[in-house]
Amino acid sequence: MVTTEATKTAPPGPPTSVAPIPARAAWRARIMPRSILGMSALILSAAVGAAFSGTVLYAYYEYRLNLVDHRVAAFEARFKQNFDNAIGTIHSERDSAKADIQKELVPLQRLQAGGDILQTLIKQTEPSVWFVHTVDEAGQPSVGSAFVVASDNNQSLLLTSYTTVRAATHKPGPDVFVRKGDQDTSATLYTWDEQKDLALLLLTRPNLPKLSFAPTSPPLKVGDRIFAMSGLGGSGGAVSQGFVADISGAGIQHDVPIGSSFQGGPLLNSKGEVLAAASRSYAPLNFATDAVFFAAPIRDACNKVLRCPSGTISGAGERR
């Protein structure tokens, strides 16, 4: 082995060492681009990533929004159905309660008609019911009511009580007047039936509204409510009410109060159809009544006072 001088004289030195590169700098060196093109690519990648993230978030938002909308729509549908069901139940319960109340009120309504029923009857019959006044054999006032049973283009026929116009059945006799409101009109006594307490007046007033006779079916029954009408009253008429006590061949027995101004007026059912002419003196059993009255059924007027072919009034009977 050849040993040089330098080798001999130069002492061995410490080993050579390289300073370590910090980890952060190494990471940055690996990640961060070192050129403009690299920086542009990094920015573009970040922008694409941000856009993609925004798209994903928006899609998720839309999904959640649609989900909420569906839930709201489903809730609204259920709510509307439940609401409609509740309203239907309320209406059903209301109708059932009203029916129960009406059923419970029937006995009370049979005892007393309400004011609306009475007002309706007055309004319905007032144009056809007239107040009658004349004098009796002693020259004293004699009053009652009459109602139109037929009318044409020339005249009208009014049924009344024979008792009211009895003095006019003799010659010479007093004049008979009918009144509507404050206007008196002269009427002619045409014919009468003393036994049934019926009389027919002829009035030269055309086309007056008439009252209809009650049909025979369904038949009138004991306990049915009936009404008497008078042509004298502040509203054009007056009404009283009561019940049927008996029905027989003698007539209709009832407890409707019949004052002087009511005699000869119509006895009506609740529909405003004529059952009879009210009387204070008709006594088929030949004894006077106190609080219970008799009335001849309206179709008995067809025996003498009226002509009723086929049940239709066509005019007066034979003049007495």
Confidence of residue 21 (pLDDT cuts 50, 70, 90): low
With residues binned 3-state (H G I as helix, E B as strand, rest as coil), the percentages for the chain, rounded to 5, are 40, 25, 35
Q: Which residues are registered as beta bridge partners of 133? A: 143, 177
Q: Is position 34 within any domain?
A: no
Predicted local confidence at residue 31, as pLDDT = 60
Task: Confirm whether 257 is domain-assigned.
Answer: yes
Lowest mean pLDDT among 253-257, 280-284, 286-290: 286-290
Could you tell me what percent of the chain has a pLDDT over 70? 82
| Residue 282 structural domain | 120-316
Please count the structural domains in the chain.
1
Least confident among 141-145, 242-246, 304-308: 304-308
Note whether residue 55 is domain-resident: no
Please tell me the distance from the alpha carbon of residue 54 to that of residue 212, in angstroms, as a whole number: 88
pLDDT score for 112: 57
Q: Is residue 149 part of a domain?
A: yes
For the ranges 1-15, 32-46, 56-70, 111-125, which has the lowest average pLDDT?
A: 1-15
- Is 77 part of a structural domain of the chain? no
Q: For residue 142, what are the β-bridge partners?
A: 134
Digit-coded pLDDT (tens) for 196-232: 999 999 999 999 999 999 998 889 999 999 999 999 9
Q: What is the pLDDT of residue 158?
A: 97
Q: What is the pTM of this model?
A: 0.65
Instruction: Name the token pair of 303.
Output: 């025996």
- Report the chain's mean pLDDT, rounded to a whole number: 84
Predicted confidence (pLDDT) per residue in 160-200, tens digit: 999 999 999 999 999 999 999 889 999 999 999 999 999 99
Any domain includes 292: yes
60-97 pLDDT, tens digit per residue, is 888 888 888 888 888 878 887 888 888 888 988 888 88
The CATH number covering residue 138 comes to: 2.40.10.120
Query: Does residue 247 contact residue 267 with C-beta atoms inside 8 Å?
Result: no
